[in-house]
Each structure stands twice: as C-alpha cells, then as structure tokens.
Amino acid sequence: MNKIALVAGVVSILLGGLWLLQGLGVVHVRPILCFADCAPLQGASPTWAVIGTLLLAAGVLAIFFAFRRGARR
C-alpha cells in the first residue's frame, strides 16, 4: 500500500505542478487530443492554479504518509 501511495503522490505532484504553472501563465501547453472545441489557455487561469495547488498538496501528503507508515514498521 505504501508503494501505491508513493506512486500516486509522485504523479499528483507532477500533474499538480504542471496545472499550477499553467494556471499561473508560466507554462503554455497546446491541447494534444480534443474531442470538442478545445482552445489553449490564454494567460493565467486562477481556477487551474487552485486545482494545481490542491493536487500538489495532496501529492505531498500522500508521500509524507507513505514514508511515515514505512518508518513505523
């Protein structure tokens, strides 16, 4: 279970960091696969910055608890 939490935490940190940077307008990534009328973000997006921050924090917590549980055994 610790390995799953660790992998999920790393993926969450990477994805949350990307979304945070996109939301702040630092990184611009064009959509790769669209099924509807997709357009890249123009400028900063507070919504994606908040979502990225929350996912980043969740990833840090997942890694923290994965290592904490491993240290108790």
Mean pLDDT per block of 10 residues along the chain (73 residues) reads: 89 95 86 73 85 97 86 59
Assigned domain for 21 exists: yes
Instruction: Supply the pLDDT for residue 40.
Output: 67
pLDDT at position 21: 93
- Is residue 51 one of the residues assigned to a domain? yes
Q: How many domains does the chain have?
A: 1
Q: Which residue range is the domain that position 55 belongs to? A: 2-27+44-72
What predicted TM-score, i.e. pTM, was given to this entire model? 0.79
Tell me, yes or no, whether 61 lies in a domain.
yes
Contact assessment for residue 42 and residue 12, using Cβ atoms and an 8 Å cutoff:
no
**Cα dihedral 22, 19, 10, 67 in deg (nearest 10):** 110
Name residue 34's amino acid: C
In a domain, 57, yes or no: yes
pLDDT of residue 36: 75
